[in-house]
Amino acid sequence: MTEQKKQVQRFYEQLWNAHDTTVAEAILHADIAFRGSLGLEKRGRREVVAYVDMVHAALDEYRCIIDDWIEEGQKLCAWMTFTGIHRGTFLGFAPTHQRVTWAGCAWFTFAGDKIASLQVLGDIDGLLRQLQGSVQGS
């Protein structure tokens, strides 16, 4: 496994899945440019960590699953599954206590061994349908 793949694996397994924000300095460039599938743009490690915290506050047992990935040079693209239990206000929806799951794609670029930028495109329409369906079905 390449160093870049190891960093992406740490990004998801440790920062996101284990919610261990202490690893941010080791894997994220100090001035990382981040755009998540929720439409929010963040700059720098501190803002990315705040984004991770926000998602974890809304989605309990939040997990990012790498389904597949490809790598070329300083770029890596990962096909993802995102899932969690909706326990806090999320995208304007009060907690439904239901599991939500959606697909996405994450585009990473690197500066040396650190993640320098990341753009995530997710199936937000599918996520919103799940949240709306849970509210309507209550």
List pLDDT tens digits, range 37-66.
Answer: 877 899 999 999 999 999 999 999 999 999
What's the pTM?
Answer: 0.91
Number of domains in the chain: 1
**Please, which contacts does 101-105 make with residues 24 or more away whose CB atoms are closer than 8 Å?**
101/130, 102/126, 102/127, 102/130, 103/79, 104/37, 104/79, 104/80, 105/77, 105/78, 105/79, 105/80
Residue 91 belongs to what domain range? 3-136
As a whole number, the mean pLDDT across the chain is 94
What local confidence, expressed as pLDDT, does residue 120 receive?
96
The CATH number of residue 113's host domain is: 3.10.450.50
134 vs 6, which has greater pLDDT? 6
